[in-house]
Amino acid sequence: MRLFVDDAPAETLNPSQAAELGAAMRSNCERALRGKPQVVERAVESLVAGGHLLLEDVPGVGKTTLAAALARTVAGRFRRVQFTSDLLPSDVIGTAMPEVVEGRPTGSLVFHPGPLFAHVVLADEINRASPKTQSALLEAMAEGRVTVDGEAHALPRPFFVVATQNPIEHAGTHALPESQLDRFHMRLSIGYPSGEDEAAVLRDDPSARDLPSLPAVVTPEQVLAMRTAASRVKVDDALIAYLLALVGETREHEAVRVGASTRAALALRHAAQAHALMDARDFVIPEDVQSLAVDVLSHRLVAESRSHGGAAEEARWILQEIVDRVPVPL
């Protein structure tokens, strides 16, 4: 049974048109999340690249605000799931229930979709749920579908998961398994705002005043068209070699137990293509790869923690050191 049909003809966008839409999306989100233009830019690029986004930071710095702003920016179906310790997989993906007609069971099962059946899904505090419930997202994020009682159900397109999590040291959290982390295209940290930006937040309270009234500035069809345009951005063979050199260094680094995979390399390529498109270019340059390598690759490494910030910060430090060291193609 297909719950949603997305057979409308795809819109064709050139790089300039796609960049204009991207700029509109960023400007819209920045009305709600003040002083974090690079974080907003990366979030939009993750959507355009066809991935999913993980926001990890301490409570109260704007993770949910950014996710909600992204959802309102796209004129599609939006669902929010508050992950808790007692949340079940069926609460997320849906369940098959006996069909009842005129008060009598028919003997058939009818699938009742869960909140995953939306264009943008906010998985709030994902690491407060049990590992079993966390893993229920895996097939959906990887395949764009869920399977219940042996029957596959396609999710709408685009399907974009924005998950938030608190640092794993906080009480009541469960670390995401490596297979789940690998399904997120980028992991971003918002961080505390500057003094000036924090004063503006206290004065204007944009999450309460501006967020509820944010307009949708792109349609789901336009997002799909942007993804198609990004996939056509040219990547020179020399840049492929450079990208593979970066990935290869993660596998040889003495402080890394598990380096970046081929899937990670593909994610970095797609991110670089989206970044180039948002700059109205139809070709990738080394700076596209350099600027995204840490956000795309660091959460896919398994590093031995030697720093005060733990393994996650250690992985980011390692990636930045690799980016600074590997020669850039001329």
DSSP result, 142-187: HHSEEEETTEEEEPPSS-EEEEEE--TTSTT--PPPHHHHTT-SEE
Mean pLDDT of 147-172: 81
Mean pLDDT of 296-318: 75
Buried-exposed string 28-41: b where 16+ CB fall within 10 A, e elsewhere:
bbbbbbbbbeebbb
Omega of the bond prior to 158 within 30 degrees of 0, cis? yes
How do the domains of the chain map onto residue ranges?
A: 11-202, 233-325
- Superfamily of the domain at 233-325: Magnesium chelatase subunit I, C-Terminal domain (1.10.8.80)
**Confidence at 47, pLDDT banded by 50, 70, 90:** very high
Q: What is the pLDDT of residue 309?
A: 46
**Confidence at 109, pLDDT banded by 50, 70, 90:** confident
Mean pLDDT of 99-104: 73
- What gap in Å lies between CA 172 and CA 87, rounded to an integer? 13
- What gap in Å lies between CA 254 and CA 176, rounded to an integer? 24
Answer yes or no: is pLDDT of 274 > 60.
yes
Query: What H or E segment, with its residue span, contains residue 313?
Result: helix 311-325
Asked if 214 and 32 count as a contact pair (C-beta separation under 8 A), the reply is yes
Neighbouring residues of 23: CB distance < 8 A, sequence distance ≥ 6: 278
Half-sphere CA count of 212, side-chain side, radius 13 A:
3
Tell me which fold the domain 11-202 belongs to. Rossmann fold (3.40.50)
Q: What is the pLDDT of residue 73?
A: 93
CA distances 325 to 68, 176, 232, 249, Å, are 38, 30, 29, 10
Answer yes or no: is pLDDT of 267 > 50.
yes
**Confidence at 2, pLDDT banded by 50, 70, 90:** very low
Q: What is the pLDDT of residue 10?
A: 55
- What gap in Å lies between CA 85 and CA 213, rounded to an integer? 32
Mean pLDDT of 56-72: 85
Q: What is the pTM of this model?
A: 0.87
Answer yes or no: is pLDDT of 182 > 70.
yes
> Measured at the alpha carbon of residue 295, what is the angle toward residues 292 and 301, in degrees to the nearest 5?
120
Q: What is the pLDDT of residue 171?
A: 54
**Confidence at 315, pLDDT banded by 50, 70, 90:** confident
Answer yes or no: is pLDDT of 205 > 70.
yes
Asked if 115 and 80 count as a contact pair (C-beta separation under 8 A), the reply is yes
- What gap in Å lies between CA 84 and CA 134, rounded to an integer? 10
Bridge partners, 180 (sequence order): none
